[in-house]
């Protein structure tokens, strides 16, 4: 098996390159993704190697960008759209939620929409307003969209290829704070399911669940908890819609306790839905209420306050202690 160590961003680049090599219908579109290679250099050298007809630098017009991608998909292409930062997706919100998400259903399944919308999201980079938000709940709430979020370079490499192969529109949430994290990528391994959650650390006392950048925080919390005599199982959600509940429910039936963590604000969020569904399916196994750790219900604060706003290992461990107190 061929393994290479690379950063999350380089793994994304390699995954996009592999998808473009495999299918000439795949094309990339976005602001500054060509010669610059994108703000985070995820598309570096792809325009040089595939040409300006397949890697397009576009105007600052997200609604037009997604609308164009929809038209290209109708014409048989498989466009991959980069939204430069999470907060910039909202000018395209109408195109995504009322057109892209609904066209296949509107045509009774006769028209596929193989469009991938890449959205770097989340905090930890010390940026300004509209550059550190976590808007995943808007899209998981929208029927007709698939929503995924890798947490490791290996998942980044394989999941972007799986997303591009999908005939349904995929919102691909990239935790931007992980772009520089290095990890092993299994270049020739058979890809797993795009929509499977995964146990990344075994444990017996409490189940910790999250996605994207929060997975690293949960693993850190689990390591600290182990030193204090508590065994935490950690599950990487990976797919936000649809959600693969089976590994989560199986874990909760074993541990009897669960803590969910996310960067997004807690009210009416993905975490609430996850908690409610797990409570329905594993009610008689729960020995404590499901605890949720989230960003606060305020706009994302200035960079100097992001450490207060974003969940960290201490907040996760506090929730673990509360769950164990029952």
- What is the DSSP annotation of 273-288? HHHHHHHHHSGGG-SS
Q: pLDDT averaged over consecutive 10-residue blocks of the chain (326 residues)?
A: 92 97 97 95 97 95 96 97 94 97 95 97 81 92 98 96 97 96 88 90 98 97 97 98 98 98 94 97 97 94 89 97 96
Among 45, 107, 130, 131, the one annotated catalytic: 131
Parts of the chain belonging to CATH 3.40.50.920 = 198-324
- Indicate the angle between helix axes 214-227 and 313-324, nearest 10 degrees: 60
Distances (CA, A) of 12 to 49, 71, 129, 152: 16, 25, 25, 10
Is 131 known to be catalytic? yes
Q: Which fold has domain 3-186?
A: Rossmann fold (3.40.50)
Other CB atoms closer than 10 Å to residue 308's CB: what's the count?
A: 9
Structure tokens at 278: 């797990």
Contact 87, 130 (CB under 8 A): yes
Parts of the chain belonging to CATH 3.40.50.970 = 3-186
What's the CATH architecture for 198-324?
Answer: 3-Layer(aba) Sandwich (3.40)
Distances (CA, A) of 8 to 153, 177, 271, 304, 318: 4, 10, 25, 25, 30
Contact 260, 290 (CB under 8 A): yes
Rounded Cα distance, 99 and 97, in Å: 6
């Amino acid at each position: 098996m061929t393994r290479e160590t690379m950063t999350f961003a380089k793994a994304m680049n390699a995954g996009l390159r592999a998808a473009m090599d495999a299918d000439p219908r795949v094309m990339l579109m976005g602001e500054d993704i060509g010669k610059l290679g994108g703000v985070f250099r995820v598309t570096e050298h792809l325009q040089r190697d595939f040409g300006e007809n397949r890697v397009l630098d576009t105007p600052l017009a997200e609604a037009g960008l997604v609308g164009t991608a929809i038209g290209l998909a109708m014409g048989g292409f498989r466009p991959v759209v980069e939204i430069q930062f999470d907060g910039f997706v909202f000018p395209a919100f109408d195109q995504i939620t009322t057109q892209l998400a609904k066209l296949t259903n509107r045509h009774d399944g006769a028209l596929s929409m193989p469009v991938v919308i890449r959205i770097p999201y989340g905090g930890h980079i010390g940026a300004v307003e509209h550059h550190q938000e976590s808007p995943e709940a808007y899209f998981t709430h929208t029927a007709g969209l698939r929503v995924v979020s890798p947490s490791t370079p290996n998942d980044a490499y394989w999941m972007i290829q799986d997303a591009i192969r999908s005939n349904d529109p995929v919102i691909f949430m990239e935790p931007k704070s992980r772009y520089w994290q290095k990890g092993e990528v299994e270049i020739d391994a058979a890809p797993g399911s795009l929509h499977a959650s995964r146990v990344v650390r075994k444990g017996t006392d409490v189940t910790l669940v999250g996605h994207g950048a929060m997975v690293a925080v949960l693993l850190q919390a689990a390591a600290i908890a182990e030193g204090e005599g508590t065994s935490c199982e950690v599950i990487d959600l990976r797919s936000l819609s649809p959600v693969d509940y089976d590994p989560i429910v199986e874990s909760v039936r074993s541990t009897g306790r669960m803590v969910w963590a996310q960067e997004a604000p807690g009210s009416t969020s993905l975490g609430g839905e996850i908690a409610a569904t797990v409570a329905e399916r594993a009610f008689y196994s729960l020995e404590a209420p499901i605890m949720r750790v989230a960003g606060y219900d305020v706009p994302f604060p200035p960079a100097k306050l992001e450490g207060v706003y974003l969940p960290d290992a201490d907040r996760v461990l506090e929730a673990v202690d509360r769950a164990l107190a029952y």
